[in-house]
Amino acid sequence: MQWTGGSRQIPDSVCSFPCRSGERKKMVKGVPCCWHCELCDGYQFQADEFNCEMCPFDMRPTPNRTACRPTPIIKLEWHSPWAVIPLFLAILGILATLSVIVTFVRFNDTPIVRAAGRELSYVLLTGIFLIYLITFLMIAEPGTVVCAFRRLLLGLGMCITYSAMLTKTNRIYRIFEQGKKSVTPPKFISPTSQLMITFILISVQFVTYSNSKTRDSLSIDRLLLPPVSPQVVGVFVWFGVMPPHTIVDYEEQRPPNPELARGILKCDMSDLSLICCLSYSIVLMVTCTVYAVKSRGVPETFNEAKPIGFTMYTTCIVWLAFVPIFFGTAQSTEKMFIQTTTLTVSMSLSASVSLGMLYIPKVYVIIFHPEQNVQKRKRSFKAVVQAATMSSRLSQKSINDKQNGETKIEPDRTQ
């Protein structure tokens, strides 16, 4: 007998065929012996003949969906394309910073090094070195020690750098503003005073850091954060009382296809905590930029206002580009990799700008043109006053000339 379709085999006289692996039986209403086979989809597995159940959050179903298996855990690898560029920039920056430090130590008593402000220069170079160093901590495999140093050093390098730079710029601004009023020098312009001001600004970082962590501890993220403390000791007390730890984030890379699911090993630190660590440094950066703009009219032969100004303008542009990239990738499946790369590259670029604008030209003169590394005529505060007065007069004259010129070209309305 030939059946429809040309088959001569007698069809099975059954209502429903057995279901395959990963499929549950969905009974047909009113027909007790019949069912439909329904696939366990998403992150479900076949618990029994009639039911599908969700796998635990840290697991995914097997290919045949009869059981659950652990979700693979990944982290940012040293050889990853997301890590190669930040590491390359950091290594070059560390080598350049160490070269500048060695050169300054070797020629510590030469006029160029003294004119650069040796004390603040060493503080600033230390901050730049720490900025480059954080790249290695951000890419290293998360662990208790790595997470602790991330929290401690993430904002510290930038804080040291821009505290020293702000102190320098503020000193220049105060000297020339005071010079326009009297021949009495302003207070707190000695190297010791500058160091004290810088360390006071740096100490505020730990207050901001501790307070931000305490506020975050009340969030749903349940971060392990330090108690409020105005001292560096407070951070280390936090390490003992609430030690940092790692977590595995299964939510970030959990696509509809469970075969592509991955858990990401990272430190227990939210995006908000990261930004809070950098917030005080950004405030210092903006304040330093404001003083750099105010000091732009100071004679070039007297100070480093113009190099600092160019440094701050470029740094602000770098960090303005960082913000939309960092927060614009929140929904990306490679969020952690993109944000880590963006953060480390932005920090390395800002450190490179500071190093290149402020110290590379000095090292070039010291090494290749030692004949220019000579003692120039020491300028007294009276000379500074004269320069400030002259600069003020030239500015006023320029304004008057402009006003006079505008008056000359006005049409004669009396005729």
Banded model confidence at residue 130, pLDDT cuts 50, 70, 90? very high
- What CATH architecture does domain 74-369 belong to? Up-down Bundle (1.20)
> Domain map of the chain by residue range?
23-70, 74-369
DSSP of 120-135:
HHHHHHHHHHHHHHHH
Banded model confidence at residue 242, pLDDT cuts 50, 70, 90? low
| Radius of gyration in angstroms for the set of CA atoms belonging to the chain, rounded to a whole number | 33
d(CA 316, CA 350): 9
Give the model confidence (pLDDT) of 145-162 as tens digits.
888 888 788 888 888 888
Query: Where is average pLDDT lowest: 101-110, 220-229, 328-337, 384-393?
Result: 220-229
139 contacts 340 by C-beta, under 8 angstroms = yes
- What was the pLDDT predicted at 136? 94
Helix, strand or coil for residue 262?
Answer: strand
Q: How far is CA 2 from CA 5, 6, 8, in A?
A: 8, 6, 5
- What was the pLDDT predicted at 133? 93
Query: Which tops the pLDDT comparison, 342 or 217?
Result: 342
pLDDT mean over 164-185: 75
